[in-house]
Chains A and B, each alone.
Chain A
Amino acid sequence: MSNDNDKKTFSRRSFLKITAGSMTIISAVTTPLIASIARGVEEKGIGKVEGKVHEIHEIKDFKYKHSYCMVILEDRCIDCERCMDACRKTWDVPEYGYRTRILEVEKRGHKSFMPVLCFHCDFAPCVVACPTQASHKRKEDGIVLVDPKKCIGCKVCMLACPYDARYYNEDIHAIDKCTFCQPRLEKGLKPACVEACPAHVRIFGDLNDHDSEVYKLLNDYEKTVRVLKPECHTRPRVHYRKS
């Protein structure tokens, strides 16, 4: 019995030791931090603008050799789905999947059509989430690609993407998505969907080329340009505006 009591005393004591030790470490780490904050408050005064002011980190700017992007003139789309067909034929997209689609949007009784695809975000959440670097962003042109041989099919990129741009392709045993037709671009061709669109809805080009149509459309300050889901802070490379 006494042995038990000894054990209890010992266990409580050791628990107290552990707690005291942890508290000491936490205090040691946090005290200088609190002191420096207090010093800052003392020096600057709360709400005063004098004293040393810390600059907010500038948002990283991406320098691509080719800054590919797409502008979608949303009031032009007639939902003919030729873009979808062209994409399907060019890349053998299976029946159960799609790389691009057209959404029917209804707001205040007004119906319109909105083409969507992979937005090749600068801060691509799918690239961050992928555990094996199968999803990656090309440094030379910002295109987000999937390397099928590395994809384990965990589908976390599908969850991470706010734009529903990905699906699992059973034929290649990997995630599949729009590539901005990167192999076609290398041959000097435009993406298949851009070429197939009869209404000139999808405008594709290199933002580094100041004579390109996309550059002019995005720098025309008379029209509002928007991106979808800006609250996700992904900096998409597909923009929407009225023609």
Chain B
Amino acid sequence: MKKRFNFSLKFSKLELLLCVIFALSLAVAVAIGIKGLFQGHLELYGTTREMPIALLLGAYIFFVVTSTGLCIISAIGHVFHFDAFAPIAKRAVFLSVVTIMGGFVCLMFELDSPWKMYYFVLTPNFKSGIWWMACLYSFYLAFMITEFIALVYNNHKLGSILGFLGLSFGLAAHSNMGAVFGTLQGRPFWFGAYMPIYFIVSAFFSGTAAIIFFTYLSRHVKQRPFDNRLNQSFRNLGWLFVFAIFIMMFFDTWSHIIGTLAYAGGKTQAIDSFEGPLKINFWFFEITCGLLVPFIFILLTRARNQAVMFICSAISICGIFYMRYDLMLAGQIVPLWHEVGATCARFYNQYAPTVPEMLVFCGGLSFVGLVYILGEKILDLDEDEVH
């Protein structure tokens, strides 16, 4: 019988150093956030009237998409009982809870007046996509936490039920988040039914990249070799990752062909053309790092080389972050009065993240890093052999 908790924490020097750096970074983010509450975001952040949401909301979406993706991956093993994915399920559930909380760190400091949040309950607007998103994500988080507790106590039957509920609420919440953008009629880049579907597909892709990254990392941090089951599971994950990238490529190709052919208020020009302001983000980070490099290298190694898969997943996660960041910018970069012919709207809106914004984002990442290290140390995130 393995121990469920291990409170005799023994850190290596590197782990201790990382924990200190992460804790300091989180403290800095909290300090900036509190300063923002009093001082306002006008001088602190780079957001403007023209581009009211940017890096921090992109970061929130990055974390939340990853969380939903991890929930989907965990459900393959735990809820639908595909044994090939069972060994990574517990870690995936844990990470899905941690990543969404990292997202909340960014969101909390992105909102201008978060202390009035109780009006979500006092005067709810049932027509609002954001209201539904918040409501569904609260249930999602509750189910994922309870599922994880059930898994820690080896109650797999209860874990499966809670996992199914978590998955259902996660998918509903996540597609709802897509709908928040998809229902904005005044923003042609986002408007349409594509967004909710894209968010779900994208979550599957992000979740696969994240679980490959963290599973490999945990094995090497703990210096525990891959056993046969985990080896097979990891290889399956590799193929799943290739499949997810292929779907993303398919979605991206059609979205951009249609966006370019059917002129819709500069819908894709900002991103697509070789002259647009987001050209480097798109072609280098999103397409090359996010999709092409991992696709080619995992295919070439036939998902057998774990180190290559780890590096590919890390590169892909960087690309995925740019996908979220660009998604936020591209929707707002074309000035609203451009089509009217206003002379002030001849040029793309500009945005550059400020240092405090970047530090808050680093705080979100640090939160994930810190809780992940502590989780690996205190809890046993490896699946028991028999359940």
Q: A14-B81, A132-B116, A132-B119 are in contact. Are A153 and B111 (CB under 8 A)?
A: yes
Instruction: Report which of B124, B185, B343 forms a contact with A162, defined as CB distance below 8 A.
Output: B185
Q: How far is the CB of B335 from chain A (nearest CB, A)?
A: 8
What A residues does B127 contact at CB under 8 A? 128
Closest chain B residue, CB of each to CB of A165: B336
Q: Is the CB of A103 within 8 A of B81?
A: no
Contact status of A152 and B116, CB under 8 A, knowing A125-B184, A125-B185, A170-B40: yes
Q: How far is the CA of A151 from the CA of B111 in the complex (A)?
A: 10
Cα A154 to Cα B123 with chains together (Å): 15
* Docked complex: A59-101 residues within 8 A CB-CB of B: 96-97
Q: Which of A125, A134, A149, A162 contacts B336 (CB 8 A)?
A: A162
Q: Quick check: is A207 within 8 A (CB to CB) of the other chain?
A: no
Bound CA–CA A132/B341 (angstroms): 35
Chain B facing A: main interface SS: loop
Residues on A with C-beta less than 8 A from B342 are 103-105, 114
Flag if A164 contacts B125 (CB, 8 Å).
no
Interface: A222 (CB within 8 A)? no
Q: How far is the CA of A149 from the CA of B116 in the complex (A)?
A: 7
Q: How many residue pairs between the two chains, A and B, have CB atoms under 8 Å in the bound complex?
A: 145
State A125–B342 Cα separation when bound (angstroms). Answer: 23
Verify if B49 is at the interface (C-beta below 8 Å from A).
Answer: yes
* Chain B 80-119 interface residues, beta-carbon cutoff 8 Å to A: 80-83, 111-114, 116-117, 119
Q: Is B50 an interface residue (CB 8 A)?
A: yes
Could you tell me if B130 and A131 are in contact, using CB atoms closer than 8 angstroms?
yes
Is A132 touching B52 in the complex (CB atoms < 8 A)?
no
What residues of chain A lie closer than 8 Å to B123, measured between beta carbons?
132-133, 150
Q: Are A131 and B52 in contact (CB under 8 A)?
A: no
Contact with B along A132-152 (1 / 0, CB 8 A): 111000000000000001111
Query: B202 contacts the other chain (Cβ, under 8 Å)?
Result: no
- Interchain CB contact (< 8 A) of B80 among A7, A18, A156, A173: A18
Judged by a CB distance under 8 angstroms, whether B120 is at the interface is: yes
B373 within 8 A of partner (CB):
no
A155, B186: Cβ atoms closer than 8 Å = no
**A187 contacts B by Cβ under 8 Å:** no
**In contact, B125 and A132 (Cβ under 8 angstroms):** yes
Q: How distant is A147 from chain B, measured CB to nearest CB, in Å?
A: 9
User: Contact check: which of A4, A129, A168 meets B129 at CB < 8 Å?
Assistant: A129
A159 within 8 A of B: yes
Find the B residue at minimum CB distance from A162: B186
Q: Which residues of A contact B337 (CB under 8 A)?
A: 103, 116, 164
**A167 proximal to B (CB < 8 A):** yes
CB of B131 within 8 Å of the partner chain: yes
Q: Does B9 contact A (CB under 8 A)?
A: no
A214 at the interface (CB under 8 A from B): no
Which residues on B sit within 8 Å (CB–CB) of A15? Answer: 80-82
Binds B, one of A29-37, A38-46, A48-56, A227-235: A227-235
Q: Is B1 an interface residue (CB 8 A)?
A: no
Q: How far is the CA of A168 from the CA of B40 in the complex (A)?
A: 10
Task: Given contact pairs A7-B81, A152-B116, A159-B184, enumerate 8 new A-B contacts (beta carbons under 8 Å).
Answer: A103-B337, A152-B111, A158-B49, A159-B186, A166-B49, A170-B42, A228-B340, A234-B185
5 closest A-B pairs (Cβ-Cβ)?
A153-B112, A162-B186, A170-B40, A11-B81, A132-B119
Interface CB pairs A-B, < 8 A, 14: A103-B340, A103-B342, A105-B342, A129-B129, A129-B183, A131-B131, A149-B116, A150-B116, A151-B113, A151-B116, A153-B116, A159-B186, A173-B112, A234-B185
